[in-house]
Every structure is written in C-alpha cells, then in structure tokens.
C-alpha cells in the first residue's frame, strides 16, 4: 500500500511539474538555428540579375518574379522544390495551388518559390532555368504548372524545352529561350540553392513558414492543404 | 518486508517500463513544448506542426491526422507515467505495444516507399533512415516482451502480498 502511495505521489508530482512547465515555460528570445541559418549573408555575386532581389519580413534574396502576394502579409511561405521530384509535383498541384487561391490572393500569405534542383535529377536544373526565365517575362505560373503536370513525360525524354514551348506563345518562348541561353538568371537559381543549403534543406519539397515576429517553421515533405490550413489560420489571425 | 525474487522476466519488465516510459514522456513533451525552437511556439502551433509531420507519412485522412496530432502527445505522456507507476501493467503495456507497433508500421512503410520525410518521433527535424527503423523495431520488440512477461507475472500472486493462511488439517 505504501509503495503504491509513493508511486501515485510521484506521478502527481510529475504531472504538476509538466503542467508548470507548459504554463510557465516562457518562450526564449533567441532565434532558432534554422531561423538564423535561413538568413545567410548576401553573397558577393554582382551580376545584374542577382542584384534584383528583395527582402520581405527578413527573408532575403527573394526574386520578385518568383514570389506572389502582398509583401505586408502576416506570413511568408518559402517553398524549396525540384521540378523532377514527384512529391514536389504533388505539393504544387494540390496544396500550393489552393494556398495561392485562399491565402496568397487574399493577401494573407506572401509565397516565395525557391528552386532547389537536386543533383540526382538529370533535368531538374534545366527545368529550373526555363521556369526562372518564364517568371522573368511574367509567365511563372503557366510554365511551373506545365512542368509539374507533364513531369512524367519530360523526365523520360528530357524534353523540357518542348514542354515549356507547348505552354507559351511563340513570341514568349523566343524571349524565354534567349534568357536561358544567356545564362543571366542562373545566379538566382544558385542563390536559392545556397539559401536552401544554409537552412539546411535536405530533401524536397521543404517549406519554411516565416511569421512577422521572426519565427520560422520548417515543414518537410508533402503536406495536404487541410492540415497546412490549420497552421496558416493560426498564424494569419 | 522482503524483496521480490529477481529473474530475467522481471528484468525485462523493469527495463521496458523505464526505457519505454522515458521515451514516451520525452517524445510527448518534445511535441508539445518544442524546445528545439526559439522562441517556443504555443501548444496550438506545436500541435499543428506535429500534424504536418504526421501528414507527410501520407497514411491518414486530414481529419484523422489532426485528431492524432491533438491527442497523441498527451497519450504518450499519460501512458509513460502509467508504465512508471506499474498499476495494471499488463493492460498499459499492451496499449504501449499497440502504439509502438503502429509507429513501427508507419516508419517501415515510409522507409520502403523511399518517402523523404522527417520521422516526427521527437518533433524536431530528424530524417527517417534505417537507424530510425532499427530503433523503432528494438522498442517494439522490448514492448512485446514486456507485455508477454507482464501477463505472465499478472497470473501469479504478487510476491509482496501476504501468504495465504495455512489451512488447519
């Protein structure tokens, strides 16, 4: 009986300590390592394309052509994707599209598309180049959609150019091809990769959700819209 | 009062209770408090972040993911404490075995499907690797042994209980 009394007392004490910890546990003021790491120092790259980046809510080196929404939104959502990764396709075609419709277009979230082409994928870098070039003529959404929706086709034959051409007019494709051939936008892709490696992003897709109070929440892998929505609703209110 | 006779069954039971209880209580607290984050998020946000980790396994529908994320950390803490107390051990160790079995199935499935996700076991970002499978497998084995032995011990009279009065012949 005494033994049971002691054990019950220990359990009650443990529960009381837990409650105290949960209630009193004051949030620390330091920034997380992930948070700090997600803001690497600006690289020394001085090409004109690389300089045309902006900073929103402390999130640096944003290519404005690959970012959408209100810069004063409560939440900045960075997604690191690889065009050849199946989970990225799933995330883009379901979750990101709905987030764009319900949070970006309503000025609640500012979304930043980061390129993170993985070396194991033969065509993801060239797909990123076409996507970036298309973004710079204002056709980001069209080309990203075409690349993700036809992923299975072009990853078999490597026909990224044909996939992009089918989604654009001849005049737009000419502009995009000129940008890809010039390589002027490559530093922006490299910078996205550097930012991802500094976080560190180990797999794609990885989404980092930044709030205005400086907190960052990393989300790894595919997530469904309904689950992500519960987090966004808490952060935007 | 005399101490209970010691044997390998009791050793496994004690080991299981201490190790699994510690793991469960730590895992539950880590999911609620998120001491890997500074500043620490409120419990509501920590729960939503855990829901995102569960969702990345792509096994459950969103409503089930949200419910699991809400209750699992508290269940882990509660069951961990019950294991430490040792009351109705065979019942709680069965429950723990079912929970760990569920974790093990989820981890093996994600590993074999090559899902590039975080384990979510202790809330912080931790890639799911072969070591995760090995760790969960070991815990599952320990939980199964603990449960089997707890049932065997439950059938016997407690060693500290008073001996039955001798019947006059």
Q: What ipTM describes this predicted complex?
A: 0.80
Residue A218 lies in a domain: yes
Q: Provide the pLDDT for residue A168.
A: 93
Span B53-82, mean pLDDT?
95
Mean pLDDT of B91-115: 94
Average pLDDT of A38-44?
34
What rounded mean pLDDT belongs to chain B? 89
Q: What is the structure's pLDDT at B38?
A: 81
DSSP state of B5: P
Report, as an integer, the average pLDDT of A8-37. Answer: 46
Query: CA of A86, closest CA in chain B: separation in Å?
Result: 10
CA angle B60, A35, B71 (to 5 degrees): 30
Confidence of residue A216 (pLDDT cuts 50, 70, 90): confident
- CB–CB of A111/A68 below 8 Å? yes
Q: pLDDT-derived band of residue A22, with 50, 70 and 90 as boundaries?
A: very low
Q: Is the pLDDT of residue B98 over 90?
A: yes
Residues of A in contact with B87 (CB under 8 A): 4, 7
pLDDT tens column, B142-155: 999 999 999 988 88
Q: Which two tokens stand for residue B98?
A: 């079912």
The span from the CA of A201 to the CA of A81, in Å, is 10
Mean pLDDT throughout A123-132? 94
Q: Please give the pLDDT value at position A55.
A: 78
pLDDT value at residue A25: 42
Of all residues in chain A, what percent carry a pLDDT higher than 70? Answer: 78
Block residue for tokens 């032995």 = B149
- Per-residue pLDDT at A18: 52
**CB neighbours of residue A29 within 10 Å:** 8
- Pairwise CA distance, residues B124 & A1, whole Å: 41
Both structure tokens of B137: 């497998």
- pLDDT category at B60 given cuts 50, 70, 90 is very high
Residue indicated by tokens 């497998």? B137
Checking if the pLDDT of A32 tops 70, the result is no
Q: Under 8 Å CB-to-CB from A101, ≥6 apart: which residues?
A: none
Residue A135 sits in a domain whose CATH number is: 3.40.30.10
Percent above pLDDT 90 for chain B: 66
How far apart, in Å, are the Cα atoms of A117 and each of A32, A33, A195?
Answer: 26, 24, 13
Check residue A116 and give its pLDDT: 94
Q: Which 4-23 residues of chain B touch chain A by CB within 8 A?
A: none
Q: What angle do CA A187, A88, A101 make, to 5 degrees?
A: 95
For the cut 70, the answer to whether the pLDDT of residue A26 exceeds it is no
Rounded Cα–Cα distance for residues A221 and B118 (Å): 8
Range with the lowest mean pLDDT among A180-184, B4-8, B59-63, B159-163? B159-163
**CB spacing of B62 vs A18 below 8 angstroms:** no
Alpha carbon of B18: minimum distance to chain A alpha carbons (Å): 14
Distance from CA of B169 to the nearest CA of A (A): 32
- B67 Cβ contact list (under 8 Å, min separation 6): none
Mean per-residue pLDDT for A80-99? 93
State how far Cα B66 lies from the chain centre.
20
Q: Is the confidence at residue A163, as pLDDT, over 90?
A: yes
Residue A90 belongs to a domain = yes
CA dist B119 and B124 (Å) reads: 9
Cα separation values, A119 from A73, A116, A122, A127, A182, Å:
34, 9, 7, 13, 22
Residue A23 lies in a domain: no
**pLDDT tens for residues B111-137?**
999 887 888 888 887 888 899 999 999
Ranges A164-173, A207-216, B54-63: which has the least confidence: A207-216
Instruction: Provide the residue range defining the domain that includes A113.
Output: 43-236
pLDDT tops 90 at residue B29: yes
Which residues of chain B neighbour A30 with C-beta distances below 8 Å?
38-39
Which residues of chain A lie closer than 8 angstroms to B63, CB-CB?
226
In this prediction, residues B16-36 reach a mean pLDDT of 94
| Euclidean distance between CA atoms A207 and A209, whole angstroms | 6
- Residue B66: both structure tokens together: 């949200």
Q: Are A98 and A63 in contact (CB under 8 A)?
A: no
pTM of the model: 0.77
Burial class of residue B164 in the structure, from the number of CB atoms within 10 Å of its CB (0-12 exposed, 13-18 middle, 19+ buried): exposed
Three-state secondary structure of chain A: CHHHHHHHHHHHHHHHHHHHHHHHCCCCCCCCHHHHHCCCCCCCCCCHHHHCCEEECCEEEECHHHEECCCCCCEEEEEEECCCCHHHHHHHHHHHHHHHHHHHCCCCEEEEEEECCCCCCCCHHHHHHHHHHHHHCCCHHHHHHHHHHCHHHHHHHCCHHHHHHHHCCHHHHHHHHHHHHHCCCHHHHHHHHHHHHHCCCCCCCEEEEEECCCCEEEEECCCCHHHHHHHHHHHHC
Instruction: Using CA atoms of A63, A64, A68, A71 in order, give the dihedral in degrees to the nearest 10.
Output: 110
How far is Cα A106 from Cα A101, in angstroms, rounded to an integer?
8
Residue A11: the pLDDT is 59
pLDDT confidence bin for B65, thresholds 50/70/90: very high
Total domain count for chain A?
Answer: 1
pLDDT beyond 50 at A153: yes
Cα-flanking dihedrals φ and ψ of residue B110, to 5°?
-65, -40
Comparing A43 with A148, the larger pLDDT belongs to A148
Q: Quick check: is A47 in a domain?
A: yes
CB contact under 8 A, A231 and B48: yes
Confirm or reject contact between B85 and chain A (CB < 8 A). Answer: yes
The dihedral built from the CA positions of residue B31, B36, B37 and B40, taken in this order, carries a sign that is positive
Give the DSSP letter of residue B58.
Answer: -
């Amino acid at each position: 009986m005494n033994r049971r009394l002691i054990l019950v007392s220990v359990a009650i004490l443990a529960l009381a300590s837990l409650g105290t910890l949960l209630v009193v546990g004051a949030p620390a003021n330091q920034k997380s390592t992930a948070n700090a790491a997600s803001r690497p120092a600006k690289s020394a790259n001085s090409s004109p394309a690389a300089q045309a980046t902006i900073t929103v809510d402390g999130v640096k080196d944003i290519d404005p052509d690959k970012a959408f929404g209100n810069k004063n939104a409560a939440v900045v959502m960075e997604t690191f994707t690889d065009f050849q990764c199946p989970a990225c396709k799933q995330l883009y075609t379901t979750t990101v599209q709905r987030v764009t419709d319900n949070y970006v277009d309503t000025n609640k979230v500012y979304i930043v598309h980061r390129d993170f082409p993985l070396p194991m994928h033969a065509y993801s870098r060239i797909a990123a180049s076409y996507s970036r070039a298309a973004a710079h003529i204002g056709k980001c959404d069209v080309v990203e959609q075409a690349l993700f929706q036809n992923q299975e086709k072009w990853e078999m034959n490597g026909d990224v150019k044909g996939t992009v051409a089918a989604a654009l007019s001849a005049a737009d494709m000419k502009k995009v091809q000129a940008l890809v051939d010039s390589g002027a936008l490559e530093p922006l892709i490299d910078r996205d990769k550097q930012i991802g490696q500094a976080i560190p992003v180990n797999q794609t897709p990885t989404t980092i959700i930044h709030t205005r109070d400086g907190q960052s929440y990393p989300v790894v892998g595919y997530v469904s819209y309904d689950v992500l929505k519960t987090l966004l609703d808490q952060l935007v209110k | 009062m005399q101490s209970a006779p010691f044997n390998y069954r009791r050793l496994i039971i004690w080991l299981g209770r201490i190790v699994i209880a510690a793991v469960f209580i730590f895992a539950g607290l880590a999911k609620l408090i998120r001491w890997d984050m500074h500043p620490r998020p409120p419990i509501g946000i920590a729960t939503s972040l855990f829901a995102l980790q569960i969702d990345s396994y792509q096994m459950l529908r969103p409503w089930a993911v949200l419910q699991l994320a809400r209750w699992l950390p508290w269940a882990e803490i509660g069951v961990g404490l019950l294991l430490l107390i040792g009351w109705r051990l065979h019942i709680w160790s069965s429950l723990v075995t079912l929970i760990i079995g569920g974790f093990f199935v989820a981890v093996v499935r994600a590993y074999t499907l090559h899902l590039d996700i975080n384990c979510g076991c202790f809330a912080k970002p931790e890639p799911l690797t072969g070591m995760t499978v090995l760790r969960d497998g070991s815990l599952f084995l320990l939980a199964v042994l603990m449960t089997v032995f707890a049932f065997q011990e439950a059938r016997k009279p407690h060693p500290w209980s008073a001996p039955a009065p001798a019947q006059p012949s």
